[in-house]
Amino acid sequence: MTDTNCIFCKISGGEIPSKTIYEDDEFRVILDISPATKGHALILPKEHYANIFEMPEQLAGKAMILAKKLAKHMTNVLKCDGLNIVQNNGEMAGQTVFHFHMHLIPRYKQDGNEEKLCWNHLELSQEELDDVFEKLRQ
Ligand code: AMP
Ligand code: ZN
């Protein structure tokens, strides 16, 4: 299933050209048009799912396996010093294109992103910690 208004459906389906670095029946991996660093790539499933919540488990698993393979390949070829795998869900989490995608971001010493891709550390009280723990434990 694809969404006719979705740019990543058009890209993953080949309707809009992209710098494709990998393709199989289920995924297309492209270079990000506005990269955080040299080699920033996006894993796109060819089917339209807005986010991780909509993705079938099997396909989400395959996306992660592909991310692992590509992370190794990219590190070998680009000789990067690290690599972030990022996946945003929802506007509040920074998602801007609502077709599931995983970012593969090669990291280099002094690549200018040291202050980004990170978050503040909260100091939670014991009570708050216990509260969230009780909500989340399965
Ligand atoms: P997110 O903020 O997680 O939704 O990420 C969306 C990413 O898609 C951003 O890094 C954009 O630079 C990238 N992007 C948007 N449009 C295109 C496009 N036409 N081709 C390649 N990358 C794109
Ligand atoms: Zn789509």
Relative to the CA of 16, which ligand 1 atom is closest?
19
pTM of the model: 0.95
Task: Give the rounded distance of the alpha carbon of 103 from its chain centre.
Answer: 3
Report pLDDT digits (tens) over 45-65. 999 999 999 999 999 999 999
Q: What is the pLDDT of residue 116?
A: 73
Report, in angstroms and rounded to the nearest whole number, the Rg of the chain calculated over CA atoms: 17
Report pLDDT digits (tens) over 29-39. 999 999 999 99
Pocket of ligand 1 (CB under 6 A): 7, 18, 30, 32-34, 42, 88, 94-97
Please identify which of the residues 40, 99, 101, 103 carries the catalytic annotation: 101
| Nearest ligand to the CA atom of 55 | 2
* Contact (Cβ atoms closer than 8 angstroms) between residue 21 and residue 30: yes
Q: Active site includes 121?
A: no
What are residue 10's phi and psi, to 5 degrees?
-65, -40
CA distance 52 to 101: 9
Strand 82-86 with 41-45, pairing: unpaired
CA distance 90 to 113: 22
Question: 7-111: which CATH architecture?
Answer: 2-Layer Sandwich (3.30)
Report pLDDT digits (tens) over 63-106. 999 999 999 999 999 999 999 999 999 999 999 999 999 999 99
10 Å CB burial of residue 33 (0-12, 13-18, 19+) is: exposed
State both tokens at 39.
């080699």
What's the mean pLDDT in 21-35? 98
Sorted by where each begins, the domain ranges of the chain are 7-111
